[in-house]
Amino acid sequence: VFAYIVRRLALMLVTLVGISIVIFFLLRIVPGNIVDILFAAAGYVDPADKANLQRELGIDQPLVLQYLHWIIGLLHGDLGYSYVSEKPALDEILPRIPITARLAALALLFSASVGIPLGVISAVYQGSRLDYFLRVVSLSGLSLPSFWLGLLILMASVSLFGSIPIFNPNPQTFGEMFSTYVLPSIAVGFRSSALTMRITRSSMLEVLRQDYIRTARAKGASEASVNFQHALKNAILPVITVIGIEAAFLIGGLIVTETVFNIPGVARYLVEAIRWRDYPIVQNLVMFIALIVVLANFTVDMLYAVFDPRIRYTD
Amino acid sequence: MRSVTAFAAAILSLLVICGVARADEAKQGGILRIYHRDSPGSASIHEEATYSVNVPFMPVFNNLVIYKQDVAQNSLDTIVPDLAESWAWSADKKALTFKLRQGVKWHDGQPFTAADVKCTFDMVMGKSPQRFRKNPRKSWYDEVVDVTTNGDYEASFNLKRPQPALLALLASGYTPIYPCHVSPAEMRTHPIGTGPFKFVEFKANESIKLTRNPDYWKKGLPHLDGIEFTIIPNRSTAILAFVAGKFDLTFPTEVSIPLLKDVKTQAPNAVCVVAPNNVSTNIIVNSSNPPFDNLDIRRALALALDRKAFISIMFEGQGDIGGAMLPAPAGLWAMPQEMLEQIPGYGPDINANREAARKLMEKAGYGADKHLAVKVSTRNIPVYRDPAVILIDQLKSIYVDAELDVVETANWFSKVARKDYALGLNLTGNAVDDPDQSFYENFSCNSERNYTNYCNKDIEKMFDEQSQETDLDKRKKLVWEIDKKLQEDVARPIIFYGRTGTCWQPYVKGVTVMVNSSYNGYRYEDVWLDK
């Protein structure tokens, strides 16, 4: 078990180093930098001012030096300064993380708590009207873009309640908290709940046809016990994989949802930072997201090992 | 003509509305909630060139002089003292001296003196050891030799030659006075001013907060306890939030005409004003390289334009046609309609114009079986992209097969500066409705913002001539001649000037939307909430 964990951790480290190199150099390949953008916004360019600013920001140095400077800083906990706000990158990023984390956790919770039970129900009642209805719902979940769903929620809210659930940094009541996080998390989690439901359904259908399920029923086990204790436990592995992958891809949905609901989280900030070519912010945020994704994959691997003990021996 | 009359009536009613609001007893207190369209690059007005910075940060500062905030049309007649108590021109009109207000304090408690005025303009003119990162309006003060002080409360601008428009430039929202004792870097993140509101915080992509300055030198002002800007880049979300009552005021001049209809339907009590914003949509032509080094082809291009079609498609008819200067009645310097219509391409008969354009194209070697293929470059933003598409369609009528070349904002300016384009569609905002700002900035040979490199020494002499002219009527006539010549030379063909809307809740009083600039009317010291 120890060797398995060490192997996984070593792989994580290599992945993170690779990502740091890719993100650093990809950012520099994209045409235009912060200085170009600042002068474009001012509608003029003075070569002397431009050179001064490049020197001030350190982007006139060779790329390898810039990379090493960043990595050494990162290892010392110094993330540098935002080019735009001129504040420490850490001060800009840290307050935004809990906001996005809450949103992402709620979206995943929504996805799992809605997707798994509905997937089980859909599989158990295969071919029934309920099954067809749930399949239509899941298909719509996969087809509706989250920005569209988000806008619909906003418009419905204004039209029905005369209010709009845009971000409130200091929610005073449960209702405010609910509207601040729950509605956006539904908008972002609806798609992955649909995917979770479909995977649960197909995985359950496969398991429900196994001999041991027939045996369980023959032994007189209740339907609930058969479905949830015997079938779901064995059908859950692909579902965990999908939830892990969805956690990684959630950032895409969050960018849109944070924009539509005006939530000042990490995802929207990342887009703004890319727009401004605010390298210290983009690099550190992408590294942070990469770390989350790698950790999510690591967790999934560990859960695999927990749910299927054969994995730790064969890997 | 009918639309001009209707527009004039709208301006008059706006003035009446403002007058009525002022007749009421202004109530103290309350926070004005405004949504902001994007996150400003910094809080330093002098270093930026967008009204995204002026709107939230103009209330923090004072100028020497300022356009009267409750008059919609900026002019030399509406300039009033601000940090200056009075001003006087020397007999030879080459020195402008300001007597400064005494007892004014910066928000950090330091006294304001003439040294701050000198510091500010030394930095703007690039003569100070303290430098701005960017200095986009340095060229405004090209005629200023230096700024001198006489004691703590007198400052003089010494000029190379008379320039009556200097006062207009100093009254702009772009010309606040900065404190000597605060560095440019600090001013970008935590501005210190003498204005009615103190800076509290600026969270990028989130919010900007200002609070009442209790020691403001204008006793009894401001009426509001503070102003909060919530940054909402998504326009649909912002408008829905305004409709739902989360905001008292929309971001100024940011409500498009179609969106305005939505607002009026969903929030019928909202007060909405549509006004020109002195932003022209124009074509930049690279006349250094073929094929547009040929004046005939440039003229054909100007003749192909159906300006009314642009305005009806994009603004449902709410736009204006003019030259380099903002059209009347909002614009002070527009040439008369009959003069405008004499310029090739401005006549009402579009078919005849295009027929003339085709003849010019044929003269240049193009025709029905030999089309000219070009790219129309523009920024990848709807307000740029949409008119570029219409332009491409209109150019088909003169044997030009144009293709859209969208450029990310990050690369737009460097592309234009490299002259790496043939045709471009551009937007030009004018901060001050004065020829000195528009002509020198956009058409002068050495201007950094003269994107097309148009250079005509004869016209440049006329720029100086009008700039020195102190007789307003004579200056106007000179300006009309220059504007006509610029359009005939196809220096930077102006397509149209759009109008946009601003809305506020009925309890918001004292808001005036300026009709000939979107940069100068955001002091907000007179605004109050009737609730």
Residues 264-303 of B with CB under 8 A from A: 266
- How many other CB atoms are there within 10 angstroms of residue B159's CB atom? 21
Phi, psi of B136, rounded to the nearest 5 degrees: -70, -15
Compute the distance between CA of residue A118 and CA of residue A116 in angstroms, rounded to an integer.
6
ipTM comes to: 0.80
Does the distance separating the beta carbons of B41 and A38 come in below 8 Å? yes
Q: Which of B131, B231, B410 sits opposite A277 (nearest CB)?
A: B410
Q: How many CB atoms lie within 10 A of CB A201?
A: 26
Backbone angles phi, psi at B284, to 5 degrees: -100, 130
Nearest-Cα residue of chain A relative to residue B37: A262
The answer to whether residue B404 scores a pLDDT higher than 80 is: yes
Contact A262 B205 (CB under 8 A): no
- Cβ neighbours of residue A143 under 8 Å, at least 6 residues apart? none
**DSSP state, residue B251:** P
Cα–Cα distance for residue pair B211/B224, rounded to 1 Å: 8
Tokens 């430098």 locate to B131
For residue A130, give the nearest of A146, A141, A140, A119 by alpha carbon. Answer: A119
Sheet holding B197-203, edge to edge: B31-36, B226-231, B207-212, B197-203
Q: In Å, what is the CA distance from B186 to each residue of A85, A86, B45, B132? A: 11, 10, 12, 11
Residues from chain A contacting residue B449 (CB–CB below 8 Å): 43-44
DSSP-assigned states of every residue in B307-318? HHHHHHHHHTT-
Decide: helix, strand or coil at residue B279.
Answer: strand
Tokens of A279: 């390298």
- By a Cβ cutoff of 8 Å, what residues of chain A touch chain B? 31-33, 36-46, 49, 52-53, 56, 82, 84-87, 92, 151, 154-155, 157-158, 162-164, 166, 169, 259-262, 264, 268-269, 272, 275-277
- Out of B203, B204, B266, whose CB is closest to A84? B204
Cβ distance B239 to B215 under 8 Å? no
| Alpha carbon distance B220, B218 (integer Å) | 6
Which residues of A fall within a CB distance of 8 Å from B243? Answer: 158
| Rounded CA separation B49/B431 (Å) | 9
- Decide if B128 touches A, using CB distance below 8 A: no
CB contact under 8 A, A262 and B230: yes
Q: How many CB pairs under 8 A join A and B?
A: 121
A68-75: list long-range contacts, CB under 8 Å, 24+ apart: A70/A24, A70/A280, A70/A283, A71/A20, A74/A20, A74/A284, A74/A287
The reply to whether residue A31 touches residue B411, judged by beta carbons under 8 angstroms, is yes
- Work out the angle at residue B333's Cα, subtended by the Cα atoms of residues B332 and B338, and round it to the nearest 5 degrees: 110
CA of A160: which chain B residue's CA is closest? Answer: B244
Note the pLDDT tens digit of each residue in A110-122. Answer: 999 999 999 999 9
Q: Which residues in chain A have their CB less than 8 angstroms from residue B50's CB?
A: 41
Q: Identify whether the C-beta of residue B309 lies closer than 8 Å to the C-beta of residue B439.
A: no
Separation between Cα atoms, residue B248 and residue B263, nearest integer Å: 13
Backbone dihedral angles phi then psi of residue B370, each to the nearest 5 degrees: -140, 95
Any bridge partners for residue B378, and if so which?
A: B406, B425
Phi, psi at B454, each rounded to 5°: -60, 130
- How far apart are the C-alpha atoms of B170 and A103, rounded to whole Å? 48
Of B516, B21, B34, which Cα lies nearest the Cα of B275?
A: B516
- Chain B: closest CA distance from residue A111 (Å): 25
pLDDT of the residue at B84: 98
Q: Which member of B203, B244, B413 has the closest CB to residue A40?
A: B413
pLDDT at A171: 77
Task: Determine whether the interchain pair B414/A45 forms a contact, defined as Cβ–Cβ distance below 8 Å.
Answer: yes
Give the integer Cα–Cα distance in Å for A224 and A234.
15
Interchain proximity A40–B48, CB inside 8 Å: no
Task: For residue A177, report the phi and psi dihedrals to the nearest 5 degrees.
Answer: -60, -45
Number of other residues whose CB lies within 10 A of the CB of residue A180: 22
Q: Please answer yes or no on whether A38 and B134 come within 8 Å at the CB atom.
A: yes
Which residues on neighbouring strands pair with residue B211, listed in sequence order? Answer: B198, B226
Residue B114 is classified by DSSP as H
pLDDT tens digit sequence for A213-228: 999 889 888 888 888 8
Residues in chain A within 8 Å Cβ distance of B240: 154-155, 158, 164
**Cross-chain Cβ contact B237/A166 below 8 Å:** yes
Q: How far apart are CA B130 and CA B153, in angstroms?
A: 23
Per the CB < 8 A criterion, the answer to whether A203 and A239 are in contact is yes
Q: Report the sign of the C-alpha dihedral through residues B348, B349, B350, B356, in that order.
A: negative
- DSSP annotation string for B164-226: TTHHHHHTSTT-PPPPTTS-HHHHHHS---SSSEEEEEEETTTEEEEEE-TT-SSTT---SSE
Region B138-147 average pLDDT: 95
Contact: B414, A92; criterion CB under 8 Å: no
Question: How much is the pLDDT for B18?
Answer: 46
pLDDT tens for residues B233-288?
Answer: 888 899 999 999 999 999 999 999 999 999 999 999 999 999 999 999 999 999 88
| Nearest chain B Cα distance for residue A222, angstroms | 50
A102: closest CA among A254, A296, A249? A254
Residue B200 φ/ψ region, left for φ over 0, alpha for ψ in the -120 to 50 degree band, beta for the rest: alpha
**Cβ-based contacts of A53 with chain B (< 8 Å):** 133-134
B413–A36 C-beta distance less than 8 A: yes
How far away is chain B from the Cα of A156, in angstroms, using its nearest Cα? 10
Range with the poorest average pLDDT among A306-310, B100-104, B372-376, B435-439: A306-310
Chain B residue with minimal CA distance to A155? B240
Give the pLDDT of chain A (315 residues) as one tens digit per residue: 678 788 888 988 999 999 999 999 999 988 888 888 888 777 777 788 888 889 988 899 999 999 999 999 999 989 999 998 889 999 999 999 989 988 989 999 999 999 999 999 999 999 999 999 999 999 988 888 888 888 898 888 888 888 887 777 777 787 777 778 888 999 889 988 999 999 999 999 999 999 999 998 898 888 888 888 888 888 888 898 888 788 777 777 888 889 888 899 988 899 889 988 999 999 999 998 888 888 878 887 777 777 776 665 454
Two tokens at B383?
Answer: 């307000």
Give per-residue pLDDT as tens, B105-116.
999 999 999 999
> Which of A43, A84, A164 has the CB atom closest to B241's CB atom?
A164
| Nearest one of A208, A238, A206 to A308, comparing CA atoms | A238
The string of pLDDT tens digits covering residues B6-31 is: 455 455 444 444 444 454 589 999 99
The torsion angles phi and psi of B199, rounded to 5 degrees, stand at: -70, 135
Chain B hits for A91, Cβ within 8 Å: none
Q: Select from A82, A146, A158, A259 the residue whose CB has the most chain B CBs within 10 Å, as the one to mutate to test that interface.
A: A158
Select from B54, B131, B134, B201 the residue whose CB has the most chain A CBs within 10 Å, as the one to mutate to test that interface.
B134
Q: Could you give the C-alpha distances from B445 to B138, B268, B284, B441, B449, in angstroms and in order?
A: 16, 50, 15, 9, 10
Cβ contact, residue pair B410, A155, below 8 Å: no
Closest residue, chain B, to A45 (C-alpha): B448
C-beta atoms surrounding A48 within 10 Å: 9
Q: Which two tokens stand for residue B187?
A: 């001013």
- Does B135 contact A at CB distance below 8 Å? yes
Range in B26-40, B60-74, B143-157, B401-415 with the lowest mean pLDDT: B401-415
Q: What is the mean pLDDT of residues B63-72?
A: 98
Closest chain B residue to A42, measured at CA: B49
**What is the C-alpha separation between A154 and B266, in angstroms, rounded?**
14
CA atoms within 13 A on the CB side of B421: 29
The answer to whether B136 contacts A42, with C-beta atoms less than 8 Å apart, is yes
Q: Which of B39, B189, B246 sits opposite A164 (nearest CB)?
A: B246
Question: Alpha-carbon distance B322 to B201, whole Å?
Answer: 41
Q: Report DSSP state, residue B75.
A: -
- Contact state of A162 with B245 under an 8 Å Cβ cutoff: yes
Q: What is the pLDDT of residue B24?
A: 56
User: Is the peptide bond preceding residue B191 cis, with omega within 30 degrees of 0?
Assistant: no
Asked whether the beta carbons of residue B411 and residue A32 sit closer than 8 angstroms, the reply is yes
The verdict on a CB contact (< 8 Å) between A49 and B408 is: no
Q: Tabulate helix, strand, coil % of chain B (nearest 5).
A: 35, 20, 45
pLDDT surpasses 50 at B320 = yes
